[in-house]
Amino acid sequence: MPIERTKLGKGVKIPHCELVNIYDSTIGAETKIAAFVEIGGARIGRGCKIEAHAFIPPGVTLADNVFIGPHTCFTNDKLPRASDKVWAVRKTFVGEGASIGANSTILSGIVIGDHAMVGAGSVVCEDVPSDVVMYGSKAEVKRSIH
């Protein structure tokens, strides 16, 4: 799998370059990317850690120091159809220091606040405030971090 048309910051670590698909993206310095990750048309900040099998499509921006757990899937179209004629990217933003647990799905157009934590297996359908823990099948705020 290729890394094409992508700007890699200093010290980016991709131990298995042959096992990722990264294109049309910007990856910040000191970010770590595991095997079987796909990143296309996204902006990844500095010091992020992206675990195996994550999918990060066009329109997704991760701020600095974000953790993405294994098998996390971002979407980027509210009403996806097979026809490209109606496809429209809805941007998603993950704030600084946020963490997203394994097997989470993040719907398009979502903002996840700074230092927020999304629990494993969550389906995030609405914005996540900064400094909260959110989890569940339709993720809900469960408590404040502070």
Name the token pair of 5: 């048309």
Name the token pair of 115: 């230092």
- Residue numbers of the domain that contains 105: 3-78+85-144
**Residue 1: predicted pLDDT:** 67
Domain count, the chain: 1
What CATH number is attached to the domain comprising 95?
2.160.10.10
**Residue 61: predicted pLDDT:** 98
**Residue 32: predicted pLDDT:** 98
Q: Collect all residues with Cβ–Cβ distance below 8 Å to 77 and sequence separation of at least 6.
A: 87, 88, 89, 90, 108
**Residue 85: predicted pLDDT:** 73
Rounded Cα gap, residues 73 and 106, in angstroms: 6
Rounded Cα gap, residues 144 and 77, in angstroms: 30
Q: What is the mean pLDDT of each run of 10 residues along the chain (146 residues)?
A: 93 97 98 98 98 98 99 91 78 98 97 98 96 88 83
Pairing relation of β-strands 117-118 and 140-144? Answer: unpaired
**Residue 60: predicted pLDDT:** 98
**Residue 7: predicted pLDDT:** 98
Give catalytic residue positions: 53
Q: Collect all residues with Cβ–Cβ distance below 8 Å to 84 and sequence separation of at least 6.
A: none
Rounded Cα gap, residues 86 and 18, in angstroms: 33
| Radius of gyration over every alpha carbon of the chain, rounded to an integer in angstroms | 14
